[in-house]
C-alpha cells in the first residue's frame, strides 16, 4: 500500500469585495471563479479572471500588495483582453505551488503618477495538504484507498469513471466497495478488473466540486486464449489479445520471438485497437505457409516495467487442396478396384467363350489329372 500527498490551494474572499467596487459607485469589479472558497491542487493550473464594468482604467494584479507582472520563471502569465465591452485581465499560474499563497487583489487604476484606485477585488489563497493512500492489487487480499481532507463536515464520495462506486455494485459480483466515514474506500475480495483510477470527491462550503485522483494499481495479465489454431491457405487470421491491469498495459506482438512492428505499412500484419487497447488485434488477410508458427502477445506496464505477461498461440497452415487428398485417394482406390474387376471379368468371359466354341465342334477338351485311373479307356493297357 502506498501513501501520496496532494497539495491543495484554497481561494477565499469576501463576496462583497469580489463583486462590487469599493470607491466608485456604479463601477463593478469582480474576480472569477466566484466561489467564496476555491480549491486548486498543487501542480495544477490556477486561473483568475478579473473584469470591470464599465471599462475604466487599467486592471492590475497584486499579491500581498506587491504588483505582479508576467514572469516565466514563476510560471506566471498576465494578459488583458476586451470581452463583451468589459475590461478583462487573466492571471494564470501554470502550475501553481504553495509559495504562491497570499492575498490577491485586482485593481482598476486610473492615471500613472500616482495611479488612483477606481475599484478593487481581493481573494485569499492558502494551502492545505490532502493525504491520499494508494493500493496495489494482490490476489485474494482486501485493499484500501485513503483520502484525508482537513476540512470539517466534508462528505467524501468515491467515484470511478464518473460513476459512484455504490452504483458499481452488482448482484453477481463478489468484490464489494465499502466507503467509511474516515474517507477510506475498502475493497472486499477485489479482482484485477477493479483496478483503475478512482476519485475522492467532495464539495466545499461554497459549492465547488473537488476531485482528487487515487490509483488502485494492478500488475498486467493477459487473458488466456486458444493454444493453437488450424487454417487453410488463403484464409484470414485474426488473434485478439485482452490484457488487464492498471496503468493500462501496452500490447506487443512477436512471431517466433521476433517483434512485429505496429506501424509497418509493408508488413503482412495489421494491428488494430480492441476495447480501447491499441494493437490488441492481429490480422493477416490471406495466410500462406510462411505465416505458420508461434505468435506471442506480450503486455507491459510503465509502472511494472520488470513484470511482463504473455500468451502464445501456435498457427498451422494447410494446403487449400488438403481436403481433396482423402477424396482423391478414395477415387483412386475405386478406379484401381474397378480396373481389376474389369480385367478379371474380361478374362473370364474370354475363357468361357473358348470353351463354348470347343463344345460346339463335338470334342471335349481332355483334362489331365495326375494320379487318377480312368476305367474303360482302350488306350489304357492296364484296363
Could you please report the per-residue DSSP string of 352-377? HHHHHHHHHTT-PPP---TT---TT-
pLDDT, tens digit (0-9, with 9 covering 90-100), for 200-232: 998 866 566 788 999 999 999 999 999 999 999
Q: 362 pLDDT band (50/70/90 cuts)?
A: low
Residue 72: the pLDDT is 83
Give the C-alpha separation, 47 to 307, whole Å. Answer: 41
- With cell 483496478, the residue in question is 195
Q: 11 pLDDT band (50/70/90 cuts)?
A: very low
Global pTM? 0.61
Residue 115: the pLDDT is 58
pLDDT value at 120 more than 80:
no
CATH 2.60.40.10 fits 133-219, yes or no: yes
Residues 127 and 97 sit within 8 Å (Cβ to Cβ): no
Residue 36: the pLDDT is 54
Section 179-197 average pLDDT: 92
Greater model confidence, 283 or 108:
283
Nearest to 149 by CA among 34, 41, 12: 41
- With cell 491543495, the residue in question is 8
Greater model confidence, 152 or 8:
152
pLDDT, tens digit (0-9, with 9 covering 90-100), for 68-105: 888 888 788 888 865 555 678 888 888 777 677 777 88
Mean pLDDT, the chain, integer: 78
Range with the lowest mean pLDDT among 17-31, 119-133, 137-151, 248-262?
A: 17-31
Residue 126: the pLDDT is 53
Residue 121: the pLDDT is 63
pLDDT value at 22 more than 50:
no
Section 17-44 average pLDDT: 55
The fold of 35-126 is Immunoglobulin-like (2.60.40)
Equal fold, 133-219 vs 223-318: yes
Give the C-alpha separation, 343 to 345, whole Å. Answer: 6
Please, what CATH class does the domain formed by 223-318 belong to?
A: mainly beta
Range with the lowest mean pLDDT among 19-33, 59-73, 84-98, 186-200?
A: 19-33
Q: 304 pLDDT band (50/70/90 cuts)?
A: very high
pLDDT value at 343 more than 60:
yes
Residues near 221 by beta carbon (within 8 Å), at least 6 away in sequence? 192, 243, 244, 245, 299, 309
Q: 13 pLDDT band (50/70/90 cuts)?
A: very low
Nearest to 160 by CA among 200, 122, 127, 198: 198
Section 6-31 average pLDDT: 42
Phi, psi of 287 (to 5 degrees): -80, 150
pLDDT value at 172 more than 90:
no
Range with the lowest mean pLDDT among 52-66, 67-81, 262-276?
A: 52-66
Residue 294: the pLDDT is 97
Greater model confidence, 307 or 295:
295
CA atoms within a 13 Å half-sphere pointing along the CA-CB vector of 109: 15
Residues 214 and 132 sit within 8 Å (Cβ to Cβ): yes
Residue 98: the pLDDT is 63
Per-domain residue ranges of the chain: 35-126, 133-219, 223-318
Range with the lowest mean pLDDT among 4-18, 32-46, 139-153, 313-327?
A: 4-18
Range with the lowest mean pLDDT among 81-85, 151-155, 328-332?
A: 81-85
For 183-195, b/e burial (b = at least 16 CB within 10 A) is: bbbbbeebebebb
Residue 32: the pLDDT is 77
Range with the lowest mean pLDDT among 130-134, 322-326, 361-365?
A: 361-365
Residues 240 and 220 sit within 8 Å (Cβ to Cβ): no
Range with the lowest mean pLDDT among 11-15, 29-33, 34-38?
A: 11-15
Task: Tally DSSP H helices, then E strands, for the chain.
Answer: 2, 26
Q: 1 pLDDT band (50/70/90 cuts)?
A: very low
pLDDT value at 285 more than 90:
yes
Section 166-176 average pLDDT: 67
pLDDT value at 173 more than 60:
no
pLDDT value at 9 more than 50:
no
Amino acid at each position: 500500500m502506498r501513501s501520496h500527498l496532494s497539495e491543495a490551494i484554497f481561494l477565499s474572499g469576501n463576496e462583497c469585495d469580489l463583486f462590487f467596487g469599493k470607491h466608485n459607485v456604479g463601477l463593478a469589479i469582480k474576480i472569477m471563479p466566484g466561489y467564496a472558497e476555491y480549491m486548486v491542487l498543487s501542480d495544477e493550473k490556477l486561473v483568475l479572471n478579473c473584469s470591470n464594468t464599465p471599462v475604466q482604467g487599467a486592471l492590475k494584479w497584486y499579491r500581498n500588495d506587491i504588483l505582479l507582472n508576467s514572469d516565466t520563471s514563476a510560471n506566471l502569465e498576465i494578459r488583458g483582453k476586451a470581452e463583451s465591452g468589459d475590461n478583462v485581465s487573466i492571471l494564470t499560474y501554470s502550475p501553481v505551488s504553495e509559495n504562491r499563497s497570499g492575498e490577491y487583489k485586482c485593481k482598476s487604476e486610473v492615471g500613472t503618477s500616482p495611479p488612483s484606485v477606481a475599484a478593487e477585488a481581493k481573494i485569499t489563497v492558502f494551502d492545505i495538504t490532502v493525504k491520499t493512500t494508494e493500493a496495489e492489487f494482490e490476489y485474494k487480499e482486501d485493499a484500501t484507498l485513503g483520502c484525508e481532507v482537513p476540512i470539517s463536515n466534508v462528505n467524501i464520495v468515491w467515484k470511478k469513471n464518473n460513476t459512484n462506486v455504490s452504483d458499481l455494485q452488482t448482484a453477481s459480483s463478489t468484490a464489494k466497495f465499502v466507503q467509511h466515514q474516515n474517507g477510506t474506500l475498502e475493497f472486499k475480495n477485489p479482482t484485477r478488473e477493479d483496478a483503475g483510477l478512482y476519485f475522492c470527491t467532495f464539495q466545499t462550503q461554497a459549492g465547488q466540486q473537488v476531485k482528487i485522483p487515487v490509483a488502485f494499481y494492478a500488475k498486467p495479465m493477459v487473458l488466456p486464449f486458444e493454444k493453437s489454431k488450424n487454417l487453410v491457405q488463403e484464409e484470414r487470421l485474426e488473434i485478439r489479445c485482452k490484457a488487464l491491469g492498471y496503468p493500462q498495459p501496452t500490447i506487443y506482438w512477436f512471431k517466433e520471438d521476433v517483434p512485429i512492428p505496429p506501424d509497418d505499412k509493408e508488413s503482412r500484419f495489421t494491428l488494430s485497437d480492441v476495447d480501447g487497447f491499441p494493437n490488441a488485434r492481429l490480422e493477416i488477410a490471406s495466410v500462406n505457409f510462411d505465416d505458420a508458427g508461434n505468435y506471442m502477445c506480450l503486455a507491459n506496464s510503465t509502472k511494472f516495467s520488470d513484470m511482463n505477461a504473455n500468451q502464445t498461440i501456435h498457427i498451422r497452415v494447410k494446403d487449400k487442396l488438403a481436403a481433396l487428398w482423402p477424396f482423391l485417394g478414395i477415387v483412386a482406390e475405386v478406379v484401381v478396384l474397378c480396373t481389376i474387376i474389369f480385367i478379371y471379368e474380361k478374362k473370364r468371359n474370354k475363357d468361357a467363350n473358348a470353351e463354348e466354341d470347343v463344345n460346339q465342334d463335338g470334342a471335349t477338351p481332355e483334362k489331365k489329372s495326375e494320379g487318377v485311373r480312368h476305367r474303360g479307356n482302350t488306350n489304357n493297357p492296364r484296363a
